[in-house]
Amino acid sequence: MSMPENGRIITFGEAIREALAEELRRDERVFIIGEDVGEAGTPFKVLSGLIDEFGPERIIDSPISEPGITGMGVGAAMTGMRPVVDIMFGDFATLIMDQMVNQAAKTHYMSGGKLNVPLVLRTTMGAGRRSAAQHSQSLHAWLSHIPGLKVALPATPYDAKGLMKTAIRDENPVVIFEDKMMYQLKGPVPEVEYTIPFGVADIKRQGSDVTLVATSSMVHVALEAADELAEVEISAEVIDPRTTLPLDKVTLIESAKKTSRAIVIDEGYESYGVGAEIAAVIAEGAFYYLDAPVRRMGAMDVPIPFSPVLEDLTIPTPAGVVELARTLCGKN
Partner 1 sequence: MDSSTTESPKKKDLTLGDNEQWLHMYQQMCKIRAFEENANELYLSAKMPGLTHLYIGEEAIAVGVCEVLRQDDYITSTHRGHGHCLAKGAAVDRMFAELLGKEAGYCRGKGGSMHIADQERGNLGANAIVGGSAGIATGAAMSIKMRGTDQVAVCFFGEGALGQGLLYEVMNMAQLWKYPVIYVCENNLYNEYTHYSETTAGRLLDRPKAFGIHAVEVNGQDVREVYATMTQLVDRTRAGEGPAFLLGHTYRYRGHHVGDINREYYRSKEEEQHWMTERDPLKILSDWLIQEKLAEAQLFDQIQNEVYSEVEAAVKFALEAPYPDESEVDMHVYA
Residues that bind partner 1 (CB under 8 A): 31, 57, 62-63, 65, 67-81, 83, 98-99, 102-103, 107-116, 118, 147-148, 150, 171-172
CA–CA gap between residue 58 and residue 295 (Å, rounded): 45
138-139-145 Cα angle (round to 5): 140
Residue 248 gets which letter from DSSP? -
- From the number of C-beta atoms within 10 Å of its C-beta (0-12, 13-18, 19+), residue 169 rates as middle
Contact in structure between 277 and 143 (CB atoms under 8 Å): no
Cα–Cα distance, 19 to 159 (Å, whole number): 11
All residues at 6 or more sequence positions from 90 whose CB lies less than 8 Å from its CB, including other chains: 123, 124, 125, 137, 138, 139, 140, 177
Name the minimum Å distance from CB 106 to partner 1.
Answer: 8
> What's the burial of 21, exposed, middle or buried (CB within 10 Å: 0-12/13-18/19+)?
middle
Alpha-helical regions (H) of 170-273: 218-231, 249-259
Q: Do residues 203 and 239 touch, judged by C-beta distance below 8 A?
A: yes
Active site includes 270? no
Q: Which is nearer to partner 1, 168 or 234 (CB)?
A: 168
Q: Which amino acid is at 151?
A: V
Element containing residue 61 per DSSP (H, E): strand 59-61
Could you tell me which of 294, 172, 315 has the C-alpha nearest to residue 243? 172
Helix axes 318-328 and 218-231, enclosed angle (nearest 10): 50
Q: What does each C-alpha distance from 224 to 85, 179, 231, 320, 322 come to in angstroms?
A: 33, 17, 11, 11, 9
Active site residue 140: no
Closest distance of CB 168 from partner 1, Å: 14
135, 145, 228, 323: which is the annotated catalytic residue? 135
Q: How far is CA 207 from CA 204, 210, 211, 227, in A?
A: 10, 7, 7, 11
Enzyme catalytic residues:
66, 135
